[in-house]
A and B are shown apart, each in its own frame.
Chain A
Amino acid sequence: MNEYVQRTNAERDIKALADGYKNKIQHNNWLLDGLQKDAIQNSWDARDNRHGNGWRCSFKIQALRGKNYLIIEDEGTRGLEGAKFSGDQELSEILLSGRRDEDLAYFLNSNWSAKTLDEGGNRGRGKTLFLAASNKQTIIFDSIRKSDGSYILGEIWLDSDKQIKYKLFFDEEARQAIKIKWGSEIVPKIISGTRIFIEEPDDAVIGGINNGEVISFISVSFWEIVKKYNATIEVYTSQGKKIAQVPDIYRDDLRGVNTKVLQPESIKDGSSYNTKKLVLRYSGELDIPDDLRGIAIQRGGMTIERQKADSLVHEEGTSNIFGWIELDKELENSLKENCEGPEHFDFSWQNNPAKNVKDYLKLRVREYAKEMKIIGSEQSKINKAQKEAEERALYALASIYKKLDLFGKGVGKSSRQHHTRKGNEPLRLSSIDLGFPRDSRRVEYGEKITKPWVIPINDFDESVYVKVKVYIASDDSSKTLEEKELYINPGENSPIGLEEFEITKELKPGEYSFRARMTSLEERPDLRLTDDTVIEKGTKLYERINHRFYVEVDPPEGKGPLRLQALPRDDKSYLFDWEAEEGGYVIYYNTAHPRLKTIQSGGAELTKYLTEQALFLLLQIKLEEETAEEIKDGIFNLGSSCDISDIYRIMLNKYSELLWEVK
């Protein structure tokens, strides 16, 4: 009987691994995001001193002998150390030994790794992702080892028999081999470190490097090592070298932002797992980019994922709480081993100790929100429900105002000058593809807004480096759909935003706007806008995108003249009352009255009751208006009848008619 080695279909393995990243990273350029995270994490793990002095990592696209390569290069690392094996038998022994410092063997073979838990990656998946990013499934690498100064050159590729193969050269042979391959275009590495060439990378990867998009991915993941150790991560874009910076919201010199730092503590009573630091920050006025929202869960200097504050405490107004948590080594290791996804982009929060960490965050974020007076007592929850029910009542009455010829603020003859549309700006955004489910722009839960994106248009002959933010705003909240830093090339550029956006209960009923704005990220004294403004860093280039829509409510037919106000009073004769005010009417209702007391905690019953009663009062208001202005041919027909009993009958009839129409 013969023994065989089972053959795996590596092509499918590569695809499966890439699909894993695609599922975890919810944006279009998931491949580049996954790639940068794995590459930098492996490089940082290989740094040759604890604080990463002299460490740097760079990304660039370079054409070599007619092929494009993504070159990822580091310095200040140990290089690919370990035995220079020369055969299968020797290789097997190394892999089975589980020895550390055999980086070369582990790098070349899949699913073998002997990294300690406190290092960033330990599953050896990064190199497989490199192959996935190559349209030719081929990578080449060279490395100078710090330990013995050896030079190594290798090539890894997916062969036609679906197996991953590699070849290796050492020292002089390696120097000759790279010279034969690329001549003088690429010189062998001199400083210790590793360089990886991904052959014919995916178009999205090339685009994201050239337009600088990858810089924001890097800053979002690795801001901690940039902040603490001044780690240098460079990207060579089509407009020159860019260096990853610490996002502003993590700077320590922020003004107008409250910061609270919680010192090390156990994540749960009786647990030996401790935090190292929890930093919570809040500013009601700060515009926090969506990809930085929430509390960043840090491990090994990188952000694994962020937990949004409003999903931790489910309270209105908490979305502007942000910060980060650092954990002690023991807890980091346990999280990594038991809870972290293999792509390093998420945790399984149902497993411990992740669950305990999340519970800890919920508790501390809630306490902080109370300190900041963002959330209040349980009573405020009742008020919130009550307000929502009452808002629905007002919107239900919206169509009635017009029918009764009652108008409020901003309706009727306007004295405002009509502005003619301004001419096109040379740098602008177009939202031409935006679509709503119906013409009225009312959108129900579960329905989708299609193509909430903007197309950047550049009429100049040169690219301009900009930041584009696409978002949805209401009076008291803002949700970013996408925010990108990129070069916009002459002509129309790829859309920024989403393919579609589903309306969920995250958006409470009311009025919203789809908006976008574009700001310059570079000094361009050579370029001017139509009003002769010189483009410089920070110049607001375009802010005109603004499309209103209405979630679960009808668009108002003009702003309603009505306002509801609870005014409890121990007065049996008073259930509702009203008075005129500037631009409309206020209806007072007595929440101390037994009829309202029982239903004041909100819900459908309160909505219904307020709608019906307010409708009756609108008729009363109309009657008083017709009486005061001596309108004989109004809806109460006062010209032909002055009989009070007639008026009451007309009122009841009208009430019935209008109630029939209320939605």
Chain B
Amino acid sequence: MAIRLDDSSSKYNKRYKTTKSILTDQDIKKADVFDKALRNTIKKIENELTSAKLVDKENRKQDSLLVWYKVGSMINDFLLKNVLSKEDKGFFWDSLYGRSEIIHKGNLIHPRRNDYRTASILAKHSYAKLNAAGTWSMWREALTYSGITNDDRIFEWLVNFLAKEKLTRDKTRPILKLVGKRFKRIDTKMLSDQELDQKLNELENICEEHLAQSRLD
């Protein structure tokens, strides 16, 4: 499916993005229907954020993690009802920027740092655990490592580890690097739970040693 983007530089004020080089009028109709549903969802998110006073009058977030968690949950619900192909998902995440001043002001910096996508991934896990493990900005950083995001089991382990350790963001950063690097070259989906657990246990020891050393330093 194509994704509609509003673009004032176009004489038609809109563009349609898709992996295909050709768009038919039917594709465009579908993209318009999808776009309308998305606008409604964004509106609902905005209402929810303002009515729950999660953002103030200047659109400042009171609790960034909670705000993005709510955004992610509602986007996930939307995507359950409006299925997108894997190829078009990239365009979708990019297209969310610029739709709401309340949710986010500013442009996308890098596709791997798409806040909406990050929020969507986070919203698949328990908020209480995520909150105990770190802040929104820490999670933004964590999710840039493919070694962390490619396997849910690693992500779950990280959540539990960080929740247990209760680290500052500066202390967390080297841990994220260690985890990301450890699994960067491994297709962990080939590993059984037991096999991965063994690697995670070893990694946990390494991380703990690192933390102990940094406390001494």
- Residue A649, interface by CB 8 Å: no
CB distance A476 to B85 under 8 Å? Answer: yes
Interface residues of A in 548-566 (CB under 8 A from B): 560, 562-566
- Residue B216, interface by CB 8 Å: no
CB-based nearest B residue for A475: B19
* Cα-based distance from A592 to B29 in the complex (angstroms): 13
- Residue A89, interface by CB 8 Å: no
CB distance A567 to B12 under 8 Å? Answer: yes
Across the interface, which residues of B come within 8 angstroms of A588, CB to CB?
12
Q: How far is the CB of B168 from chain A (nearest CB, A)?
A: 31
CB distance A579 to B185 under 8 Å? Answer: no
- Residue B214, interface by CB 8 Å: no
- Known contacts A394-B21, A563-B21, A566-B25: A537-B195 contact under CB 8 Å: yes
* Cα-based distance from A300 to B85 in the complex (angstroms): 37
CB-based nearest B residue for A531: B185
**Which of the candidate stretches B36-44, B60-68, B186-194 sits at the interface with the other chain?**
B186-194
* Cα-based distance from A563 to B11 in the complex (angstroms): 16
CB distance A391 to B21 under 8 Å? Answer: yes
- Interface size class for chain B? 20 to 34
Q: Scan B1-41; emit 1 where CB is below 8 A from any A CB, else 0.
A: 00000000011100110011111111110000000000000
CB distance B23 to A566 under 8 Å? Answer: yes
Query: Which one of B10, B83, B191 contacts A538 once the chains associate, using CB atoms below 8 Å?
Result: B191
Across the interface, which residues of A come within 8 angstroms of B85, CB to CB?
284, 317, 476
At the interface, is chain B mostly helix, strand, loop or mixed? mixed
Q: Scan A481-504; emit 1 where CB is below 8 A from any B CB, else 0.
A: 000000000000000000000000
CB distance B24 to A284 under 8 Å? Answer: no
Across the interface, which residues of B come within 8 angstroms of A173, CB to CB?
none
Interface residues of A in 510-553 (CB under 8 A from B): 519, 521, 533, 536-540
- Known contacts A284-B86, A567-B12: A539-B25 contact under CB 8 Å: no
Across the interface, which residues of A come within 8 angstroms of B11, CB to CB?
579
Q: How far is the CB of B5 from chain A (nearest CB, A)?
A: 11
Interface residues of B in 181-206 (CB under 8 A from A): 185-191, 195, 199
CB distance B26 to A383 under 8 Å? Answer: yes
* Cα-based distance from A317 to B20 in the complex (angstroms): 14
Q: How far is the CB of B7 from chain A (nearest CB, A)?
A: 9
CB-based nearest B residue for A385: B24
CB distance B21 to A538 under 8 Å? Answer: no
Q: How far is the CB of B83 from chain A (nearest CB, A)?
A: 4
CB-based nearest B residue for A388: B22
**Which of the candidate stretches A153-161, A335-343, A372-380, A625-633 sits at the interface with the other chain?**
A372-380
Query: Which one of A256, A386, A539, A592 contacts B24 once the chains associate, using CB atoms below 8 Å?
Result: A386
Across the interface, which residues of B come within 8 angstroms of A394, CB to CB?
21-22
- Residue B165, interface by CB 8 Å: no
* Cα-based distance from A598 to B117 in the complex (angstroms): 42
- Residue A285, interface by CB 8 Å: yes
Across the interface, which residues of A come within 8 angstroms of B77, CB to CB?
none
CB-based nearest B residue for A523: B195
CB distance A380 to B26 under 8 Å? Answer: yes
Across the interface, which residues of B come within 8 angstroms of A387, CB to CB?
20, 22, 24
- Residue B152, interface by CB 8 Å: yes
Across the interface, which residues of A come within 8 angstroms of B27, CB to CB?
383, 566
Across the interface, which residues of B come within 8 angstroms of A380, CB to CB?
26
CB distance B186 to A383 under 8 Å? Answer: no
CB-based nearest A residue for B195: A537
- Known contacts A284-B85, A475-B87, A565-B16: A533-B25 contact under CB 8 Å: no
CB distance B21 to A581 under 8 Å? Answer: no
CB distance B86 to A285 under 8 Å? Answer: yes
* Cα-based distance from A560 to B22 in the complex (angstroms): 13
- Known contacts A255-B152, A538-B191, A540-B186: A390-B83 contact under CB 8 Å: no
- Known contacts A285-B86, A566-B28: A538-B188 contact under CB 8 Å: yes
CB distance A540 to B26 under 8 Å? Answer: no
- Residue A591, interface by CB 8 Å: yes
CB distance B195 to A566 under 8 Å? Answer: no
Q: How far is the CB of A387 from chain B (nearest CB, A)?
A: 5
* Cα-based distance from A581 to B16 in the complex (angstroms): 12
Across the interface, which residues of A come within 8 angstroms of B199, CB to CB?
536
CB distance A591 to B25 under 8 Å? Answer: yes
Across the interface, which residues of A come within 8 angstroms of B190, CB to CB?
467, 519, 521, 537-538
CB-based nearest A residue for B30: A376
- Residue A568, interface by CB 8 Å: yes
CB distance A581 to B15 under 8 Å? Answer: yes
CB-based nearest B residue for A579: B11
* Cα-based distance from A248 to B196 in the complex (angstroms): 15
Across the interface, which residues of B come within 8 angstroms of A536, CB to CB?
186, 199
* Cα-based distance from A591 to B20 in the complex (angstroms): 18
Q: Scan B75-104; emit 1 where CB is below 8 A from any A CB, else 0.
A: 000000001011100000000000000000
* Cα-based distance from A591 to B22 in the complex (angstroms): 13
CB-based nearest B residue for A380: B26
CB distance A564 to B186 under 8 Å? Answer: no
* Cα-based distance from A566 to B188 in the complex (angstroms): 43
CB-based nearest A residue for B81: A373
* Cα-based distance from A317 to B83 in the complex (angstroms): 13
* Cα-based distance from A467 to B187 in the complex (angstroms): 12
**Residue of A467, A533, A537, A592 most packed against chain B (CB within 10 A):** A537
* Cα-based distance from A564 to B195 in the complex (angstroms): 50
Q: How far is the CB of A567 from chain B (nearest CB, A)?
A: 7
Q: How far is the CB of A608 from chain B (nearest CB, A)?
A: 15
Q: How far is the CB of B192 from chain A (nearest CB, A)?
A: 9
What are 26 A-B pairs with beta-carbon distances under 8 A? A255-B152, A284-B85, A379-B26, A383-B27, A386-B22, A387-B20, A390-B24, A394-B22, A467-B190, A476-B85, A476-B87, A537-B191, A538-B187, A538-B189, A539-B185, A540-B187, A560-B21, A563-B21, A566-B24, A566-B28, A567-B12, A567-B25, A567-B28, A568-B25, A579-B10, A588-B12
Please name 16 further chain A to chain B contacts, defined as beta carbons within 8 Å, in addition to the given A539-B185, A566-B24, sorted by A numbering.
A284-B86, A382-B26, A383-B24, A383-B26, A383-B27, A386-B22, A390-B24, A467-B190, A476-B87, A538-B187, A563-B22, A564-B22, A565-B22, A565-B28, A566-B23, A567-B12
